[in-house]
C-alpha cells in the first residue's frame, strides 16, 4: 500500500516530468511553445494539495476476487490488457467485483505474455474471459486483440493498474445516451493518494499533450463538469464498438504504446463524433506501473518517438488546436463555442422549488444548443450534489473556496462572454452594472422568474397590508428599470407578458415558461388513493395555501370521506408541522423524488389565493397525468379551462366538492388526466422553450 501511495506525484516522478519539460524548452528555444512550456513547468512547481487521508483502496496483495460480473449479452465489454503486475490486476478486479454496474458487462483480460503466473491465477477467477497472447503485442496490440472478441455495443479499455469506484461504468455509458454524437467518453483519474491526476487531455498545435488538473483537488468544481476534450486517457476510455471498428482500432503505428489514445480521439472527431470527459466516473490510476516513469528509458521513451508519428499523421488537424503559448485553463475551451454566465440567488435544487427545475431545464437546452455554461449563486455556495447535477449538464459552477468573487472572475473572463443571464430582480440589481462594465459585448438577459411586484400587489390586496402595497410600488419601479437597462427580459406567464408589453413597449420581453418532461401516466385510477399538495414554506403564497387547505378545505372533505389521506410535501418548519397536524394529514417535508406521490395519489391540489407566474406544482402533476384541482389564481397563465383539463374553484366548499368529485369519478379523472398531459406537451415542453431560446440568443 505504501508503494501505491508513493506513486501519487512523489518527488522522483516530478523530477522526471520536469526533466522532460526542461529538455523540450532548451531543445526548442525558438519554438512558439517556449512560453506555454514554461507555464506548465510552473504548474509542476507550485504548491499542490496534500494527500487525502480518507482515500480508501484495495490492498496490493495476491488475494483473488471470488468472481466478477459476467453477462452473456453484455452492453459493455471491459478490456483489461496486462503484462505481469498480478497484484495490481487482482486489486482492479476486486474493485470491479465490489462496485459492479447497472448495465450488463463482461470482463476480458488480455494477458500479453506475462512473465509471472498472472494467466494461471486469472484463469481460475469466475466471470473473467481470459485471452492469452502467444507473443508480446504491447498495449496497442493487446487492446485490439481484446476488441476482436468483445461482444458489447461499447468497449471500455481499462488499465490493470486502476481501481474503479461507484458509477465507474454506468456514468461513462450515460454520455452516449445523454450527449449527442458521443463517440468516446473518459473518466476523471485520481492518484492513489486522492489527488487529481487528469480531467481530460489537451493537445497543442505542435502535438504536445497535457493532462488538465494534475495534482489538484479531485473534487474541485473546476474539474467536475462534462465537457468536450481533445482526448481522454486510455487508462479508462469507453468507445462505441461500431466507431472503434470503423476507425480500425488503435493504430498499430504507435506499437507498443503511447499516443494511441490521442490518435483514437482525433480519428473519432474526424468521423464527426465527440470526445467527452465524464467526471462522474472516477477511476484510481497508479500511473507508471506498467511502463515506468522515466520518459527517456524503457517503454516510456515511445512518448517522444510516437509523438513525431502523431504530428505527421494529424498535421492538418493540429492547425486547429490551441497555440502552445496558451495556459491550460484557456486551452481546454473549445473554439467557437458561445459562453453564457448565469447568476441566480441559490444553486438550483429541483426538490426545493419549481424555479430551480425551470433553470436546470433551461441549462439542459443551452447545453444541447452547444453553449458553454458557467453558473454562480449569489451566495457563492453549492453542495456536492448540486455541483454534480449541474456538472452532468456541462455546467461549470463557481463557488467557494475554489472560485473568486464574481467581480474578479469577470475581470479575467468577462470580455469573452457572449451572454449573461441574471435571475431575480435583487440579483440583477446587484450585478447588472458590473456586468455592463466587464462583459461589454455580452447580451444581458434579466430573468424575472416571476414578477415580484405583481405577487406583492396581490398579497397586499389579499391581506389588506398597506405597507406591503407600498413595497409593491417600489418593487415595480425597480423591476421595470431593470428591464429597460437589460437587452432582454424573460417572464413565465402570458399574463405577465401582456402586462409588460403594455408597460414597456420598447423593451424586448420573451415568454419562457416552465419546462417539463412529459412523463405520461403510470398507475391506473383504481390503484391510486389520496390527495397531494406540493409547496415549501419559503414561498409565502404556499404558506397561505396550506393553512386554507388544512383549516377550511380538508375538513369539508373529511366530513364526506374520512378515509381520504392528504399528503403535504415541501420544506416546512417544525413549528408549522406541529400546528398543521390533523387526522388524515401526512406531512413528508422536502423529498428528493416526487414520483411516488405523482404515481400513487389520485388528485393534486393547488389552493393558491395570490401569487404570480406559472405554478410548477400544477405543471409537474399534469406532466405525470395526475389531475389537478386549482384556484383560478393557481391556473393563471397556464391555458387551462375548467372542466376540460383542470377543475377550478375559488371558495373552500366548492374546492372540497371538486376534489371529491375528481377523486371518485373515474371517467372524469381519465379525461382530465389526458388533457393535462396534452397541455404540458403543447405549452410547457422542451421544444417550446428551445424555440424561445434560439430566438432570444440568435
pLDDT of residue 30: 38
pLDDT over 90 for what percent of the chain? 78
For residue 83, pLDDT over 80 is answered with yes
C-alpha span between 480 and 500 (Å, rounded): 9
Q: Report the pLDDT averaged over residues 447-468.
A: 89
The reply to whether domains 76-287+295-323 and 338-511 share a CATH topology is: no
Residue 593 has pLDDT above 60, yes or no: yes
Q: What is the pLDDT of residues 408-441, one digit of tens each?
A: 999 999 999 999 999 999 999 999 999 999 999 9
The yes-or-no verdict on residue 13 having pLDDT over 60 is: no
Determine how many CB atoms are found less than 10 A away from the CB of residue 507: 17
Q: List alpha helices for 61-196, DSSP H.
A: 86-99, 118-122, 138-149, 170-178
The predicted-structure confidence for 527-554, as pLDDT tens digits, reads as follows 999 999 999 888 889 999 999 999 999 9
**What secondary structure letter does DSSP report for 53?**
T
Note the pLDDT of residue 342.
98
* pLDDT tens per residue across span 621-641: 999 999 999 999 999 999 999
Q: How many C-beta atoms surround the C-beta of residue 202 within 10 A?
A: 20
Is it the case that residue 360 has pLDDT exceeding 80?
yes
CA-closest candidate to residue 542, choices 474, 646, 455 = 455
- Name the residue among 277, 190, 189 with its Cα closest to residue 230: 277
pLDDT class of 334 with cuts at 50, 70, 90: confident
Report the C-alpha gap between 179 and 156 in whole angstroms: 17
Least confident of 12-26, 73-87, 356-370: 12-26
DSSP E strands: which ranges in 535-639? 566-569, 585-589, 603-606, 628-630
- Lowest model confidence (mean pLDDT) among 23-32, 396-405, 601-610: 23-32
Range 94-103 average pLDDT:
97
Q: Cα(76)–Cα(104) distance, rounded to whole angstroms? A: 7
Closest among 154, 158, 235, 242 to 201, alpha carbons compared: 235
- Dihedrals phi, psi of 625, to nearest 5 degrees: 75, 20
Tens of pLDDT, residue by residue over 363-391, are 999 999 999 999 999 999 999 999 999 99
1 pLDDT more than 50: no
The reported pLDDT for the residue numbered 452 is 85
* Residue from 238, 247, 236, 176 nearest 211 by CA: 236
pLDDT of residue 537: 87
How confident is the prediction for the chain on average, in pLDDT? Answer: 90
Region 125-150: what's the mean pLDDT?
96
Residue 134: DSSP 8-state: S
pLDDT at 32: 39
Q: How confident is the model at residue 329 (pLDDT cuts 50, 70, 90)?
A: confident
Q: Is the pLDDT of residue 31 over 80?
A: no
pLDDT mean over 123-142: 96
Choice among 46-55, 68-77, 388-397, 459-468 with the minimum mean pLDDT: 46-55
| Model pLDDT, residue 269 | 97
Predicted pLDDT at 5: 37
Which of 21-35, 419-433, 496-510 has the highest mean predicted lDDT (pLDDT)? 419-433
Using alpha carbons, list the distances in angstroms from residue 259 to 303, 407, 567, 568, 667.
7, 41, 59, 58, 65
Give the Cα separation of 595 and 38 in Å (integer).
54
Q: Between β-strands 509-511 and 154-158, what pairing exists: parallel, antiparallel or unpaired?
A: unpaired
Phi, psi of 105, deg, nearest 5: -145, 165
Please give the pLDDT value at position 28: 42
Please report the pLDDT score of residue 124 as a whole number: 96
Cell, residue 482: 431593470
Q: How far is CA 222 from CA 226, 276, 402, 562, in A?
A: 10, 15, 8, 55
- Domain 76-287+295-323, CATH 3.90.550.10 — does that match? yes
Q: Assess if CATH 3.30.360.10 describes domain 531-684.
A: no
Q: Domain locations in the chain?
A: 2-45, 76-287+295-323, 338-511, 531-684
Is residue 681 predicted with pLDDT exceeding 60?
yes
Cα separation of 691 and 368, whole Å?
12
pLDDT, position 354: 84
Question: Helix (H, G, I), strand (E, B), or coil: what is residue 191?
Answer: coil
How far is the C-alpha of 308 from the C-alpha of 319, rounded, in Å? 15
pLDDT of residue 43: 53
The band of 22, judged by pLDDT with boundaries at 50, 70 and 90, is: low
Between 298 and 568, the more confident residue is 568
pLDDT for the residue numbered 16: 53
CA–centroid distance for 398 within its chain: 14
For residues 353 and 273, the model is more confident at: 273
- Asked if 160 contacts 251 with a C-beta cutoff of 8 angstroms, the reply is no
pLDDT at site 14: 53
Per-residue model confidence (pLDDT) at position 425: 94
Q: What is the pLDDT of residue 27?
A: 45
* 104-108, 150-154, 458-462, 645-649: least confidently modelled range: 458-462
pLDDT tens per residue across span 179-229: 999 999 999 999 999 999 999 999 999 999 999 999 999 999 999 999 999
> Is a pLDDT exceeding 60 seen at residue 687?
yes
**pLDDT attached to residue 19:** 56
The pLDDT assigned to 456 comes to 86
Cis peptide before 324 (omega within 30 of 0): no
Where is 489: in which H helix or E strand?
Answer: strand 488-491
Report the CATH superfamily, name and number, of domain 338-511: Glycogen Phosphorylase B; (3.40.50.2000)
The pLDDT value recorded for residue 97 is 97
Amino acid at each position: 500500500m505504501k508503494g501505491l501511495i508513493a506513486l501519487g506525484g512523489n518527488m522522483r516522478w516530478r523530477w522526471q516530468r520536469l526533466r522532460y519539460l526542461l529538455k523540450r524548452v532548451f531543445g526548442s528555444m525558438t519554438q512558439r511553445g517556449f512560453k506555454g512550456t514554461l507555464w506548465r513547468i510552473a504548474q509542476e512547481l507550485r504548491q499542490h494539495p496534500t494527500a487525502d487521508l480518507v482515500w480508501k483502496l484495495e490492498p496490493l496483495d495476491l488475494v483473488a476476487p471470488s468472481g466478477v460480473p459476467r453477462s452473456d449479452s453484455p452492453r459493455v465489454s471491459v478490456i483489461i490488457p496486462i503484462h505481469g503486475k498480478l497484484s495490481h490486476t487482482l486489486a482492479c478486479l476486486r474493485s470491479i467485483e465490489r462496485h459492479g454496474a447497472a448495465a450488463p458487462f463482461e470482463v476480458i483480460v488480455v494477458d500479453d505474455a506475462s512473465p509471472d503466473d498472472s494467466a494461471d491465477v486469472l484463469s481460475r477467477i469466475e466471470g473473467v474471459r481470459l485471452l492469452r497472447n502467444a507473443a508480446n503485442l504491447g498495449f496497442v496490440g493487446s487492446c485490439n486483440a481484446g476488441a476482436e472478441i468483445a461482444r458489447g455495443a461499447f468497449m471500455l479499455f481499462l488499465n490493470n493498474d486502476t481501481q474503479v469506484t461507484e458509477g465507474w461504468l454506468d456514468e461513462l455509458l450515460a454520455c452516449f445516451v445523454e450527449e449527442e454524437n458521443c463517440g468516446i467518453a473518459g473518466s476523471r483519474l485520481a492518484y492513489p493518494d486522492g489527488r487529481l491526476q487528469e480531467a481530460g487531455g489537451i493537445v497543442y498545435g505542435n502535438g504536445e499533450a497535457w493532462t488538465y488538473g494534475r495534482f489538484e483537488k479531485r473534487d474541485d468544481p473546476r474539474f467536475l463538469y462534462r465537457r468536450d476534450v481533445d482526448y481522454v486517457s486510455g487508462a479508462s476510455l469507453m468507445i462505441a464498438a461500431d466507431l472503434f471498428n470503423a476507425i480500425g482500432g488503435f493504430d498499430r503505428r504507435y506499437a507498443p504504446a503511447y499516443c494511441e489514445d490521442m490518435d483514437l480521439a482525433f480519428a473519432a472527431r474526424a468521423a464527426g463524433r465527440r470526445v467527452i470527459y465524464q467526471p462522474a466516473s472516477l477511476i484510481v490510476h497508479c500511473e507508471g506501473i506498467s511502463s515506468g516513469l522515466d520518459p527517456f528509458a524503457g517503454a516510456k521513451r515511445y512518448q517522444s518517438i510516437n509523438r513525431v508519428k502523431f504530428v505527421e499523421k494529424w498535421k492538418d488537424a493540429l492547425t486547429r488546436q490551441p497555440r502552445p503559448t496558451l495556459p491550460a485553463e484557456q486551452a481546454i475551451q473549445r473554439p467557437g463555442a458561445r459562453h453564457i454566465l448565469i447568476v441566480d440567488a441559490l444553486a438550483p435544487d429541483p426538490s426545493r422549488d419549481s424555479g430551480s427545475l425551470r433553470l436546470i431545464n433551461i441549462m439542459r437546452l443551452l447545453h444541447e444548443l452547444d453553449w458553454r455554461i458557467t453558473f454562480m449563486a449569489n451566495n457563492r455556495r453549492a453542495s456536492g450534489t448540486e455541483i454534480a447535477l449541474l456538472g452532468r449538464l456541462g455546467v461549470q459552477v463557481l463557488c467557494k473556496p475554489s472560485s473568486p468573487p464574481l467581480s474578479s472572475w469577470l475581470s479575467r473572463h468577462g470580455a469573452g462572454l457572449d451572454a449573461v443571464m441574471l435571475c431575480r430582480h435583487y440579483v440583477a440589481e446587484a450585478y447588472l452594472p458590473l456586468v455592463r462594465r466587464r462583459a461589454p459585448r455580452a447580451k444581458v438577459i434579466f430573468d424575472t422568474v416571476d414578477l415580484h411586484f405583481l405577487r406583492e400587489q396581490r398579497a397586499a390586496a389579499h391581506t389588506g397590508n398597506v405597507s406591503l402595497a407600498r413595497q409593491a410600488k417600489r418593487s415595480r419601479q425597480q423591476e421595470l428599470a431593470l428591464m429597460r437597462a437589460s437587452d432582454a427580459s424573460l417572464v413565465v406567464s402570458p399574463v405577465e407578458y401582456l402586462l409588460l408589453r403594455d408597460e414597456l413597449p420598447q423593451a424586448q420581453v420573451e415568454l419562457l415558461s416552465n419546462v417539463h418532461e412529459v412523463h405520461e401516466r403510470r398507475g391506473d385510477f383504481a390503484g391510486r388513493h389520496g390527495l397531494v399538495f406540493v409547496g415549501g414554506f419559503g414561498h409565502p403564497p404556499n404558506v397561505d395555501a396550506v393553512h386554507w387547505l388544512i383549516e377550511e378545505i380538508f375538513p369539508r372533505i373529511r366530513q364526506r370521506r374520512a378515509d381520504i389521506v392528504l399528503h403535504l410535501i415541501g420544506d416546512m418548519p417544525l413549528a408549522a408541522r406541529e400546528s398543521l397536524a390533523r387526522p388524515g394529514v401526512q406531512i413528508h417535508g422536502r423529498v428528493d423524488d416526487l414520483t411516488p406521490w405523482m404515481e400513487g395519489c389520485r388528485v393534486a391540489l393547488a389552493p393558491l389565493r395570490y401569487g404570480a407566474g406559472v405554478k410548477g406544482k400544477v405543471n409537474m402533476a399534469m406532466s405525470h397525468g395526475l389531475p389537478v384541482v386549482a384556484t383560478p389564481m393557481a391556473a393563471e397563465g397556464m391555458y387551462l379551462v375548467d372542466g376540460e383539463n383542470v377543475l377550478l374553484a375559488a371558495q373552500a366548499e366548492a374546492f372540497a366538492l371538486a376534489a371529491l368529485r375528481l377523486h371518485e369519478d373515474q371517467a372524469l379523472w381519465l379525461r382530465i388526466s389526458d388533457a393535462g398531459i396534452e397541455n404540458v406537451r403543447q405549452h410547457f415542453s422542451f421544444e417550446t422553450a428551445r424555440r424561445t431560446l434560439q430566438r432570444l440568443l440568435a
